Structure 1
Amino acid sequence: MTTWITTHGGRLSSPSDVEFDTPDPARTALERTVAIPLAHLGILDVRGPDSIRFLQGQTSAQLNLIDGHFAPLTAFCSVKGRVVANAQLLRVGEDHFRLILDRSLVEPLAQHLGRFAAFYKAELEPNPDIALIGIMGPESAALTEVDCDLNAPGVWHQANSNGTIALGYPGPQPRYLIMVPGPQADALFERLLKQCVAVGNAIWKLTDIQSGLHFITNEQQDTWLPQMLNWEAQAGISFKKGCYTGQEVVARAHFRGQVKKRLFRAQVEGSEMISIGSQVTNTDDKRVGEIIACQQDAYGQSEVLAVLNISAEDMNLSFEGRRMQLLKLPYSIERLDPESLAPPGQS
């Protein structure tokens, strides 16, 4: 399913990392519209007449809002309220929902949810036969409309046409995730490259960091409450729905103000990449959190996301002696109900 990538000059340095020979891809992405194979993301489909009831009892999303237009963030939690996986949830058909998440968690989440799905008429199907392509930059909306025959959707919304789906994503520039059946990926990517430059998916990951958005990997499961990933500030938690696994812990932490850690965006001096899980310390060399994502920006600096103690906002921070400067997030750390983003009449 990756031949469409190699045909157009891409190479997989790992199953989740795509590279092209485009010079200075981060700077190119600032100046041009780019097309990006999103090899680090995967798909888990949920089908069946009980799919709504099943998902309603497992996810932080309110299922009656997800109507084929609104496609919000969501989280699946353990009974202790820790995130087992976080994803974007969309509706493909009447009894067909789709999750977009880190590819390393597709099978683990299917196994986790499979314990509950056995009691419902619902099936969990990893779907590697759909290609995921990112379009980002000033012409991305026009290309989504012309080359994909889709109206460019708003952030956390979707558009559908003849088996192709577009999802709107946040970022400093307009960007869209396009889902297309695998056999059609080569032709679509070829059309896009007439107007775009191909770059590796490190650029999409960098934009996620700049957007304060993180989809956990299999190594980060069962570690943080969803609020520690700022999930409620990005409409990823409905506090108006009924019970789901972990809901009591998540709600109690919110209403009692018990969230002691948050997701921060930062820049670390120097261009050397930082290992995920590296400790962040204060001037007393006391650990205040850890780095959970890192990419190099157009200026050769390491931009990171880190889960830190809330008090770290007022501290001088460092990583192995390298100064860390906190950067502004593109959203407020306030509860944003998904009901406020849904189409009128759906909330």
Structure 2
Amino acid sequence: MSEFVDFLKRDTSASFTDDRVAHFGNPEREIETALANVSKCPLLSLGVVSFTGTDARSFMNGQFTTDCTGIMPRHSQFSAWCDPKGRVLYIFTLYIDGDRLYAILPKAQIDSFMRRLNLYILRADVELGNLSDALIVIGLSGTSSPDTTGLDEPWDTAQRPGATRIIRQGAGPPRFMIVGPDGSARERWAALEIPAVGEIAWKTLEIFGGVPRLDERTSGRFLPQQLNLDALNALSFSKGCYPGQEIIARLKYRGAVKKRLLIATVASPTEPVSGTPIQINGSGRTVGHVLNAQRLDAGRSALSAVVEVDATVADLHIEKSKGPALRRIDLPYAVD
């Protein structure tokens, strides 16, 4: 067990679910705190994969949706990896520290991510490493902490004491990820003298930020534009080839994006699961599916969903046309 996890279990009120800190005693209040004020969150569900070798950057550039030549010490990237049909398999944050490149993504996806990538390395000088036990990710919301000084734009990145990196996340409520060694994570945590929240609150921030996340039910199901990755600067149309590029480019230059990600709340006693159908009231026709959802309180959940563009102004309901109605929320970024 990591030193930081041992500390959280021994010396805090952290409530664990599936090896992550779900909350610190009151998830509903923590959601309110995270949305309104500065807060910190142990992101134990996230792990880190390293890319080393002389061909690491060019290999990544030939696989991922962003121009990886643009990853710099002061600028990270939101990126994705697609299958040959252009469907998104994984979504992650890329950053550099010294001569190593890194990807931050859910620990549950790392084994399959590395296994699939290794099939494409062939003779390239690239080595992948799972550093999830060595590096800890801490989330920080709000901008009142001195650690966030100078990080004004999405994916701005800075070095901080103790071999740590702090990376500003994308649109929506200000969010940052602090990545550093497990051995000094407790010290970093204690230095942040702000309220602690669990991953329930952090997931809510991401949903309201219009950030897509994939699981086993949604991986390989959507094109990048359907997840708004183009609007989140996680998609390059000017670099060389990568898996699915022709299909993705054709959607931009020859066609129209017929589905887009939206965010909403829904009055429901249970949290919708990913993949739950969305229908137009009274029609019985499925026009989309839930991507992510998080229960806000006893009778309400926040969710993101991929829905047909022509149906986004309709009266939408989950599960069936007479099910709970969606109350749409404006995205915090522009979508073409």
Above 0.5 in TM-score? yes
Task: Flag the 1:61–1:170 CA change in 2: closer, same or farther, 3 A.
Answer: closer
Query: Corresponding residue for 1:332?
Result: 334
Query: Corresponding residue for 1:93?
Result: 98
Which of 254, 258, 274 is 1:276 aligned to?
274
Pairwise CA distance, 1:104: 1.8
**2:24 pairs with 1:41:** no
- After TM superposition, the structure 1 stretch with the greater mean CA deviation from structure 2, 252-261 or 70-79, is 252-261
Counterpart Cα distance in 2 of 1:11 and 1:267: 25
Counterpart Cα distance in 1 of 2:101 and 2:258: 33
Structure 1 residue identity aligned to 2:167 = L
Query: Corresponding residue for 1:76?
Result: 81
Pairwise CA distance, 1:152: 3.8
Counterpart Cα distance in 2 of 1:300 and 1:137: 27
Pairwise CA distance, 1:271: 4.5
- The Cα offsets for residues 229-261 of structure 1, whole Å up to 9 and x where unpaired, read as 000011001101011111111111111124321
Pairwise CA distance, 1:14: 1.1
Conserved? CA contact 2:79–2:234, under 8 Å: yes
Query: Corresponding residue for 1:342?
Result: none
- The Cα offsets for residues 146-178 of structure 1, whole Å up to 9 and x where unpaired, read as xxxx75463212111341000002355432110
Query: Corresponding residue for 2:285?
Result: 286
State TM-score, norm by structure 1: 0.88
- The Cα offsets for residues 40-94 of structure 1, whole Å up to 9 and x where unpaired, read as 2221111111101111110111122111111111111111111111111111223
Conserved? CA contact 1:153–1:166, under 8 Å: no
Counterpart Cα distance in 2 of 1:199 and 1:290: 28
What secondary structure, in the 3-state scheme, does the structure 2 residue paired with 1:5 have? helix
Query: Corresponding residue for 2:251?
Result: 253
What secondary structure, in the 3-state scheme, does the structure 1 residue paired with 2:251 have? helix
Pairwise CA distance, 1:29: 2.3
**2:10 pairs with 1:20:** no
What secondary structure, in the 3-state scheme, does the structure 2 residue paired with 1:86 have? strand
Counterpart Cα distance in 1 of 2:197 and 2:245: 39
Structure 2 residue identity aligned to 1:115 = L
Conserved? CA contact 1:102–1:216, under 8 Å: no
Conserved? CA contact 1:22–1:198, under 8 Å: no
Counterpart Cα distance in 1 of 2:65 and 2:171: 23
What secondary structure, in the 3-state scheme, does the structure 1 residue paired with 2:17 have? strand
**2:8 pairs with 1:5:** yes
Conserved? CA contact 2:218–2:275, under 8 Å: no
Gaps of 5+ in 2: none
Task: Flag the 1:154–1:303 CA change in 2: closer, same or farther, 3 A.
Answer: same
Query: Corresponding residue for 2:138?
Result: 133
**2:105 pairs with 1:107:** no
Pairwise CA distance, 1:226: 0.8
What secondary structure, in the 3-state scheme, does the structure 1 residue paired with 2:114 have? helix
Query: What is the total number of aligned residue pairs between the two structures?
Result: 325
Counterpart Cα distance in 2 of 1:87 and 1:100: 5
Query: Corresponding residue for 1:188?
Result: 188
Counterpart Cα distance in 2 of 1:3 and 1:228: 40
Pairwise CA distance, 1:103: 2.1
Structure 1 residue identity aligned to 2:303 = V
- The Cα offsets for residues 286-339 of structure 1, whole Å up to 9 and x where unpaired, read as 1111111111347963110001111111211111411112211111113xxxxx
Structure 2 residue identity aligned to 1:326 = R
Task: Flag the 1:73–1:31 CA change in 2: closer, same or farther, 3 A.
Answer: closer
Conserved? CA contact 1:165–1:178, under 8 Å: yes
Query: Corresponding residue for 1:344?
Result: none
Pairwise CA distance, 1:216: 1.3
Task: Flag the 1:232–1:3 CA change in 2: closer, same or farther, 3 A.
Answer: same
Identity of aligned residues (%): 27
Conserved? CA contact 1:152–1:168, under 8 Å: yes
Counterpart Cα distance in 2 of 1:152 and 1:22: 30
**2:319 pairs with 1:316:** no
Counterpart Cα distance in 2 of 1:299 and 1:66: 42
- After TM superposition, the structure 1 stretch with the greater mean CA deviation from structure 2, 85-94 or 298-307, is 298-307
**2:176 pairs with 1:176:** yes
